[in-house]
Amino acid sequence: MNRKLLESALPGSLKRKVEPTPHYATMMHSPWLSEIWSDVGDMYYEFIAYAQPVKDWGVFGGNVVFLSEGTNQRIDENEQVLGTFSSYEFSPTLTYANKIYSNLAGGINLKLIYSHLAPFGAPGEQGKGIATTWAVDLGLLYHGPFDGLALGLNVQNIGPKLTYIDAQEADPLSRNVRVGTAYDILDGKYSKLTAAWDFTKTIVDLSPDRPWKEELQDVVHHLGMEYWYLGPASLALRAGYVLDEVGHIKGPTYGAGVGFRKIQFDFAMEPGGDLQNFNKKFSLSAVF
């Protein structure tokens, strides 16, 4: 197992403390649309993940994503309130990754996607607003051609459509291709400075008749830098910029992290588009 490839996935303050076979865990919480409905606390995004290398076999892991879309009222055709229901999305994932060549690693995710929009259908329709499908993610990570440079490629959500009631109106998954690079500008004993850039392109319903200019407008760009002071207690500062013309999301991003021993806490803010000024993310990570 290539230890350098494993460490490349870990936060800066944890890299200096990695044992040959660490257990890595992280969790993240993000309030959803909190600036619009500040009195509503049941709209949020949760993520929890675990990874562990196994000698001569690679890295095994898993994660769970949960998105709560809040509580809604059920109203009939006469606009009478019939009750309330909850909407949410849930996706457990199994992960495997391993070294392919000396500086090249590959990984795969296999995930179940469960969408619970409503426990009933529209008036006059059979079925419920509930759908289940599966999907695969594929990724490659290359270190080189010189020290400090990493290149990544990821294809997300390869799988069948989500069918709620009518198979003829099934919803395609948001299949994406993501390409990114990162470079360690400074990699000292106490200081580390990294610059990164990636872009994501949706590849659902591509049309050969659509002009390339319009296709390129769908590309989402992320550019950022991260500085770590590495000591008994480590500190990270992050800044970047996101550009998503189709989603009307653009502007600066900010973040910070604090690490002590094998525990790390991170906070980030990114533009929220037309709906709110910023989305906030809180995460806690550990190596043990």
251-273 pLDDT, tens digit each: 999 999 999 989 999 999 998 77
Q: Is the pLDDT of residue 86 over 80?
A: yes
pTM for the full predicted model: 0.83
Q: Tell me the average pLDDT of the chain.
A: 85
CB 91 within 8 A of CB 112: yes
Q: Give the whole-angstrom CA distance, residue 29 versus residue 280.
A: 9
Q: Rounded to an integer, what distance in angstroms lies between the CA atom of residue 189 and that of residue 282?
A: 27
**Residue 198 token pair:** 């990636």
**What CATH number is associated with residue 19?**
2.40.160.40
Closest by alpha carbon to 105, among 140, 78, 72, 137?
Answer: 140
State mean pLDDT over 138-163: 95
The whole domain housing 181 covers 3-74+83-287
Report the percent of the chain where pLDDT is more than 70: 82
How many domains in the chain?
Answer: 1
Please confirm whether the linkage preceding 145 is cis (ω < 30° from 0).
Answer: yes
**CA nearest neighbour of 43 among 29, 56, 63:** 29
Return phi, psi of residue 4, to 5°: -65, -40
Confidence of residue 7 (pLDDT cuts 50, 70, 90): very low
